Chains A and B, each alone.
Chain A
């Protein structure tokens, strides 16, 4: 049973006569208002329609037009009275006094209006929405051929004979690998007469990773993926390539289509134990991002950014134009405006950004355990810390601690300055006393020679002194001090520039609560290290260097002590020293821990044992964490991003409103996540528990899409695959199976393929390729037109010949030159020179790229695609504008394109490379020309051709001839 979707369309339908309204009021409205405010005239100015009761009661942009019984509150009455100069209706000529009176009277009496909106159904009985039902295969043999030959026969047509083997193999390489083969690659096949030879070649090419590289580009086009934001601030997304690699890998692994859907929409939800699949979430972040709008118009940004995700998801997976329902319910297809906003709500919890993820479950588990251990150490969790499995680690640490002996060399200050006016005086043993003016803020800078060999840590002692309040060591009234931030620099002897030294850890013998040693190196001047209430005693803080510095050549260490907040908390007396001992050994333990260490092992209390274990295990865990492989990053989506900024904590999904006429100025009711109500295989409103995670919304949509009974999904993908093999889909509009799209040329075949792909092939694209490529239909020759009405080849009585696309052209030239670099994956290759632009977007110069640089020969799929500044050469060959979805490539011809192919440096280099290759193999020009023809056209030159080509090559060189052949139609078109 086909479901019927009821869409409200406000058309006047008189149900119950109302004398006064019909005879007096309605004629006025019709005469004076309908022209701008009715469906009849197709004008709903200001959002207000006056042709139904609901029209005026919902009202327009300014709200309800009529408040029954209350003319003084009714905007319509105010407007016809010209009370507000901004609202004078009708604008051109005021109503007569009598007309105004009638309308006022009508409103006063309750505005009885018998016109109810007519309910019009938009039919869901449409080919793409019908449930999939297996058609009967009309004859025996290959099922595809059965359907195709059957319809050819009905039209009185015959299929064409099979193409020649070289033509076939050329075609196969291009469709599966995306470049033309070299003669030696096809040699085996052409000479193999076994009936399975072609089938084996298909298998061989499908097994090769070149397959994933070729087909990934189709998917990246379809979902408008690029390596930069596009729009005003077209900055690079340095981690977008992870998604590109993910697509290549998944296609090569032949992941089933339903799983591919789930991974890209909600891998985090479905496959938590495969964290590496998070890379798939790059799918939702593939499109452009208007960075400027994210900053200055955030609400608009949210609706438009989600619009892009909705548009892409519904078009790429279900061939549906849901986005046409943004301002009003879809005019042609059964998609309500409510459906559209429910789809927006699916993505209300995520924003685009750089998302970190683990490369494997194993690493993830290890990292989680270590992080939990650090947490346990921080809260002194006895149960965890005193587990038997950690005992050896803890004991070893205790032993090291007891044995450790660290010697410190005092830094003899040569220069010591105070920027805030404090008087610093050098006393004996490198001690500096701070006296005189007590400034609010201070920065002490001390420098001195250090002993040769190396420095691994720097120590600051703050010393008690009777001259300071309460005995110091600080100068604050209570004897305290606040060290906001510490910086270290190293001037090697003879070097004019300094090397900033990175501090990996700070530790002190005592930390005031809330003012810890770690805060002295956190980069925040408002936080720092302090010692209250342990005044009137000396303390020390030790700074461990991330990497020890070699001081064998001598040099000067500069220590900067910033004391900024709160005011007047300055250090009163201090000394600096350095050590070359192991930095970890130098780390200070609290006096409590030192006490515990001194205790005989058996006499230690449980608390003391826990404390020591916490120190040992924290150090162990931190060290182990550093050794773990770092997380990977993909440009994707997560709830931790919003408005292109990372949030401190994940956000709850934002509220999505139904927007009247798609305008953010007219939010109506909030909506919940859902999908299209025209289909009933899955609830159209997901009705998720509010407790569910954000990802559950995306997961529900993924389930709605990947559902075996969703008729759109399975038709959509088999049609796409068909299109890439034949140059045209069975339905010619791959992103639109609605009423504005094309009708399928072979609806039964499309349905048969969809069901076969879902049930027999279990969603395996490689099986689908095998099925198509082994059909006689695909293997037909592209013969000239016979006498037929089907010149368009709708019925596939021959193969469509196709011009190779931009990537195939580029990769083929490289491959024929024997230079194509098959290195896979990794960050994209920038085939341009980049320089700073006037604002965030750089200037790209494609013409200055060095075609002899090492990465110039990588496959085209690995190029960095800058959305707003595409490669002009690729663009000339119809590389699409990735501001929008590009479900199929265009075909254009122009003088500019021909100039590009004839004169672009890439082609000139390519001609030179190919010529050089051939010249190395043979010094005979005739042989060279023969081999060039075989390489580029995969055939022998005729005698006439040989003569003409040799003559040209003789005069202008082999490279010049190669350039001509690379411009030839025979090279560019696949038959």
Chain B
């Protein structure tokens, strides 16, 4: 195997420093110090926390105020047939059951389901007219994560890991914190590294599990494993591998494996502390809602995301809601009954995260993203539920390089389709890569005949929301 292709495949696994050292002579991707860690231009963001609302968060019941729906409530004005990707024939126009008010200096409308986030709208930049190419959860979730409707493509976090490597050798580069009730649609698909090496996939951490990182230590019940045996074993292994490597002096893979055990040992020292929330103050815990049943799960994971970012994890993805039709944002049955509890479970923790990141100065070089896979219909399904709608939905960004208190794009009067400033996942991803110092058109990997990009053949950096 040639050194170049080997390094290409294994590179990101060593962590930023080691990788840039190894790759120095190869002229491949490498974070540039003079570009603040960017690849192609100066980076504004060093790390990312992405909050993903599984199921399709309703725009017209959260951030996209539509008075027209109240006026036309109950009238059958939508399509008369079931649309491709809808689960049922659309019903009558359905007004939002929640009260909307304008907030902050920017005057962003927010409904009563998000009282806490409403206080921070001046920190956020809203994409009010995001569009998907599908109305189906699985493909929609793939699309928002990997830019493709089909399985097998690397997600945003994997591309970031591949392009930039680690900020710290002590923790995994890309951590995924799924809802304690279960994995999102497509199971581990949304955090897959696809055709990139497996080392770039998201490391899934179940909160509440006794182990910070999978296989960090041997499980109990094996008498021959204990700290002394493990430590001496690693040392002996190093000795054996060093001796072996001297017989194969040109094989850099052997060196890399030796190094990987050193990193593993570092991770064993650092990870338990990073994942231990008990050292946080009561005030912080309360801020994130750890003292309340409804916010505890998401709050713990937001707090963990902050701790991991502080300690050098590049990309943390926090999911709200499992796959399925309950306990998430897929409110087919009743917006008035199903949305408030799931909204309440994330609202205070998200506000806390913004507040906390800001207070610690992390928001300056951390990008915070709130998104979902698509929106919902302005038409009723059943009584007062809403069906899937890729026509228009809302995402927001905050932090590094983002123009706070702005909004871009506009949906039509019903919130059914986008009208102005339409953005797709491609534009969102191009913008995120841009903030990481990466030109989305230049980050490519050849796979089965195509130079693949996160943004496929699309994508524009959304300059309007950049500071």
Contact = CB atoms under 8 A, between A and B. Distances in A.
A62 interface: no
B187 interface: yes
A332 B451 CA distance: 12
B218 A908 contact: yes
Interface in A779-800: 784-785, 791-793, 800
Interface string B131-149: 0001111110100000001
A87 interface: no
Interface stretch (B113-121, B252-260, B346-354): B252-260
Contacts of A727: 1
Given A231-B151, A891-B9, A296 B87 contact: yes
Interface string B225-249: 1001110111011011100110111
Contact of A292 (B136, B201, B215, B228): B136
Most buried by A among B86, B203, B240, B263: B240
Interface string A855-898: 00000000000011110100110110101110100111111111
Given A234-B186, A881-B192, A970-B244, A736 B448 contact: yes
A91 to B, nearest CB: 11
A736 B449 contact: yes
A791 B250 contact: yes
Interface string B152-174: 11000000000000000100100
Contacts of B90: none
A30 to B, nearest CB: 24
* Listed residue (A728, A735, A899, A961) with the most chain B CB atoms within 10 angstroms of its CB: A899
Interface residues of A, number: 96
A973 B254 contact: yes
Contacts of A884: 150-153, 194-195
A837 B136 contact: no
Contact of A898 (B251, B254, B257): B257
A337 interface: no
A688 interface: no
B325 A964 contact: no
A288 B260 contact: no
A609 to B, nearest CB: 58
B324 A838 contact: yes
Contacts of B149: 304
Given A232-B185, A300-B85, A868-B188, A948 B236 contact: yes
A298 B323 CA distance: 21
Most A Cβ at <10 Å: residue of B1, B136, B198, B218: B198
B282 to A, nearest CB: 33
A912 B219 CA distance: 14
Question: What is the size category of the interface that chain B forms with chain A?
Answer: 35 or more
B198 A875 contact: yes
Nearest to B387: A296
A908 B225 contact: yes
A823 interface: no
Interface in B171-227: 172, 181-183, 185-189, 192-195, 197-199, 201, 203, 213-219, 222-225
B283 interface: no
Contacts of B188: 868-870
Contacts of B183: 837, 841, 843, 869
A905 B1 contact: no
A792 B1 CA distance: 6
A295 B250 CA distance: 55
A839 B248 CA distance: 51
A581 B152 CA distance: 62
A829 interface: no
B322 interface: yes
B84 A784 contact: no
Contacts of B198: 875-876, 878-879, 890, 892, 897
A803 interface: yes
Nearest to A876: B198
A321 interface: yes
Interface of B: 1-4, 6, 9-10, 13-14, 84-87, 134-139, 141, 149-153, 169, 172, 181-183, 185-189, 192-195, 197-199, 201, 203, 213-219, 222-225, 228-230, 232-234, 236-237, 239-241, 244-245, 247-251, 253-254, 256-261, 263-264, 266-268, 322-327, 388, 446, 448-451
19 contacts: A232-B323, A288-B150, A297-B135, A297-B136, A300-B134, A735-B448, A741-B449, A784-B247, A800-B1, A868-B186, A884-B153, A891-B197, A893-B13, A893-B257, A895-B169, A960-B229, A964-B236, A968-B237, A970-B241
Given A738-B449, A895-B172, 18 more contacts: A232-B186, A296-B135, A297-B84, A740-B446, A838-B322, A838-B323, A841-B187, A875-B198, A881-B195, A883-B153, A884-B153, A890-B198, A891-B197, A892-B198, A894-B10, A961-B236, A964-B236, A967-B261
Q: Across the A-B interface, give the 5 residue pairs with the lowest CB-CB distance, nearest first.
A: A883-B151, A884-B152, A232-B138, A321-B449, A838-B324
